[in-house]
Chains A and B, each alone.
Chain A
Amino acid sequence: MTDKQAGGDVRLSGISKTYGSFTAVHPLDLTVPEGSFFALLGASGCGKTTTLRMIAGLEDPTTGTVRLGDKDVTALPPHKRPVNTVFQSYALFPHLSIYENVAFGLRRRGVKSVKKQVDDMLELVQLGDFAQRKPHQLSGGQQQRVAVARALINHPQVLLLDEPLGALDLKLRRQMQLELKRIQTEVGITFVHVTHDQEEAMTMADTVAVMNGGRVEQLGAPAELYENPRTTFVANFLGTSNLIEAEVVQSSGGEVVVTAGGGKLRLPAGRCPDATTAGGRLLVGVRPEKISLTPVADADAVPAGRNSVTGRILDSSFIGVSTQYVVESPAGKGLEVYAQNVEHRAGLEPGAEVVLHWNPEHTFGLDAAQAIDAGVETVGERP
């Protein structure tokens, strides 16, 4: 077993990486608490994998230090760090059997009798019968489990996962997400997980760091990030947000009032940037599932005190559990609304005039100086 020290947090301080004139990671401080499941989330090229590789020792940081617990490991080569990695597309040794793949780390550290440990580990990932096969004889899901077993058998202080589920199909991915979460809870090892899939990050991690352009944009628990994005990038990259450009009319008594598209909207001052004052500009955001739709004819039925905007349905798509609407309104071109399919609702066909209304508490404000569409995924951008 690797010597476990007290306080095995991963501490990155002032760590950065530049390649020539390109900065992959800007100086960054980050602490991953011991035993947590931590996700680095971002689009490809945001610096998340580079950060991971600096923790593994596969990349030398340009500046800064990496600490595991009290120990500075910055200068240690990968084979001397109590850290193991589950690589993207697994990197299983093609010339070795599954058994030898899993035993590799133990043998290199001079462990004499590895059989018991390897057998147990293969049992844990339910691959006991496959020990003598070669990696190419296994399915993608099985290979993935071998990669996890090969790393975990060394009882690392930290397990690094580099897009470990990227090569699996959707259904298997969901399954493996739960499986990995189970294993993490069982072994209690710190997991640092790199992914571009926001759902995956939110499902699995206790803490998510959203990265963009080599910087951490925001960091927190998944629900916290989702409900209180602090930048337009986070608001758009994590799920979908309706962002409306607005002008601040009044800010007092813990409430901010803005005008957008001719109408007035209210939101809690606590969910706005600190420098929100009357006369300034603000991006007002609301998540699609928080909005209700009512036909204009029934507008009277909308309870008082809710934020409301009128518009016309451009498009609706039925996707089973919900129906997604795109609504055009003076406040914004393509506002999205997700409505649960509890019962069929008349008068919500494309072309219908509707009122969009939601609880003011569900509204958040963002600094208007940012690009409104940062982090919006466009077709073809996915790796």
Chain B
Amino acid sequence: MTVTQAPPLSPAPGGPPAHKTPVRRRLVPYWLLLPGILWLVVFFVLPLVYQASTSVQTGSLEEGFEVTWHFATYWDALSEYYPQFLRSLLYAGTATALCLLLGYPLAYLIAFKAGRWRNLLLVLVIAPFFTSFLIRTLAWKTILADGGPVVEVLGAVGFLDVTSWLGLTEGSRVLATPLAVVTGLTYNFLPFMILPLYTSLERIDPRLHEAAGDLYARPATTFRKVTLPLSMPGVVSGTLLTFIPASGDYVNAQLLGSTDTRMIGNVIQSQFLRVLDYPTAAALSFILMAIVLVTVTVYIRRAGTEDLV
């Protein structure tokens, strides 16, 4: 048996040249990234640049627009449409809170209490997606129709008196009021809250509940000290997935609301597609983007969950 061993501390003097990874192999990731990233740069980043440029242009549709660094557009847009901005944030925030409130019990039910019904319930949560959301939103026009059973019951129990007093409804109507718009928003984005909540709840080992109980925690305390903190990633991504699209939505306000419930999305849409005042529309769009990005960034920082992607 010939086993030899070099003295451990002897890097061969002037030793053999270090091996290098071939250039071709090092370029593989870049080739993989290139087409997709190019797509995003051309059709996501570049449009934002064009929009930025449009927002500081002046001119008219007939004579054409020109970059004049007219930043006043931002100020004008903001001072004219700040009620719609505030309304958007308020509606989207309320809808998000309602989604969390309504979605959490269902996600909890599916994750811990459903047993063999779990898959069925999950299908039922996802199933509404299979019908176009516009059709389903229109269905709310039927459900909330004046004099319909839902409105009758709400009126009979005094619910509408409370909401009227709060300014959410008017008299015995629900349709074309803020309540209808928020109901629609909540309904439309609820699955985006439930699914991430379910994913993070499902990862929790049920034995943790037993351990908490064993260590003298009552069910409410167990929820507060164990379940809720562990489901925070789901809460964070769920609220983001609800708030972001809700803040820019204009479908619910258009179909279920009135001119008094116009959100900023409605304004941007009509400025772009009907009024054709591109600079104002672009400025509004940028302000909305800035508000959402700042809100989201601050929220993520505070929630302490940065590994969302």
Interface residues of A (CB under 8 A from B): 14, 16, 26-33, 36, 60-65, 74-75, 206-207, 209, 215-217, 219-220
Select which of A27, A62, A209, A220 is within 8 A of B10 by beta carbon: A27
Select which of B1, B2, B5, B17 is within 8 A of A29 by beta carbon: B5
**What is the distance, in angstroms, from B45's C-beta to the closest C-beta of chain A?**
33
Determine if B6 and A28 form an interchain contact, defined as CB atoms under 8 angstroms apart.
yes
Q: How many B residues are at the interface, by size bracket?
A: 10 to 19
Determine if A33 and B1 form an interchain contact, defined as CB atoms under 8 angstroms apart.
yes
- Complex: A92 Cα to B8 Cα, angstroms: 36
Q: Which residue of B lies closest to A219 (CB)?
A: B5
Determine if A64 and B1 form an interchain contact, defined as CB atoms under 8 angstroms apart.
no
- Complex: A29 Cα to B10 Cα, angstroms: 10
Contacts of A209 in B (CB 8 A): 5
**What is the distance, in angstroms, from A285's C-beta to the closest C-beta of chain B?**
21
Determine if B19 and A31 form an interchain contact, defined as CB atoms under 8 angstroms apart.
no
Most A C-beta atoms less than 10 A away, residue of B5, B18, B21: B5
Given A26-B8, A217-B8; A61-B19 close (CB under 8 Å): yes
Tell me the residues in window 1-44 of chain B with beta carbons closer than 8 Å to chain A beta carbons. Answer: 1-6, 8-12, 15-19, 21
**What is the distance, in angstroms, from A217's C-beta to the closest C-beta of chain B?**
7
Interface of B is mostly: loop
Determine if A63 and B15 form an interchain contact, defined as CB atoms under 8 angstroms apart.
yes
| CB 8 Å contact bits of B86-121 with A (1 = contact, 0 = none) | 000000000000000000000000000000000000
Select which of A60, A74, A207 is within 8 A of B3 by beta carbon: A207
- Complex: A28 Cα to B7 Cα, angstroms: 8
Most A C-beta atoms less than 10 A away, residue of B15, B16, B21: B16
Determine if A27 and B15 form an interchain contact, defined as CB atoms under 8 angstroms apart.
yes
Most B C-beta atoms less than 10 A away, residue of A27, A75, A206, A215: A27
- Complex: A32 Cα to B66 Cα, angstroms: 77
Determine if A60 and B4 form an interchain contact, defined as CB atoms under 8 angstroms apart.
no
Interface of A is mostly: strand
Given A60-B21, A62-B18, A74-B19; A29-B11 close (CB under 8 Å): no
Determine if B5 and A216 form an interchain contact, defined as CB atoms under 8 angstroms apart.
yes
Determine if A63 and B3 form an interchain contact, defined as CB atoms under 8 angstroms apart.
no
Contacts of B11 in A (CB 8 A): 14, 16, 26-27, 63
Determine if B19 and A62 form an interchain contact, defined as CB atoms under 8 angstroms apart.
yes
Determine if B6 and A27 form an interchain contact, defined as CB atoms under 8 angstroms apart.
yes
9 contacts between A and B (CB under 8 A): A14-B16, A16-B11, A26-B11, A28-B6, A28-B8, A29-B5, A63-B19, A215-B9, A216-B8
**What is the distance, in angstroms, from B10's C-beta to the closest C-beta of chain A?**
7
**What is the distance, in angstroms, from B150's C-beta to the closest C-beta of chain A?**
50
Contacts of B10 in A (CB 8 A): 27
- Complex: A182 Cα to B78 Cα, angstroms: 82
Contacts of A16 in B (CB 8 A): 11
**What is the distance, in angstroms, from A32's C-beta to the closest C-beta of chain B?**
8
- Complex: A30 Cα to B5 Cα, angstroms: 6
Determine if A14 and B15 form an interchain contact, defined as CB atoms under 8 angstroms apart.
yes
Most A C-beta atoms less than 10 A away, residue of B8, B12, B21: B8
Determine if B8 and A63 form an interchain contact, defined as CB atoms under 8 angstroms apart.
no
- Complex: A61 Cα to B278 Cα, angstroms: 60
Contacts of A217 in B (CB 8 A): 8
Contacts of A30 in B (CB 8 A): 3-5
Contacts of B17 in A (CB 8 A): 63
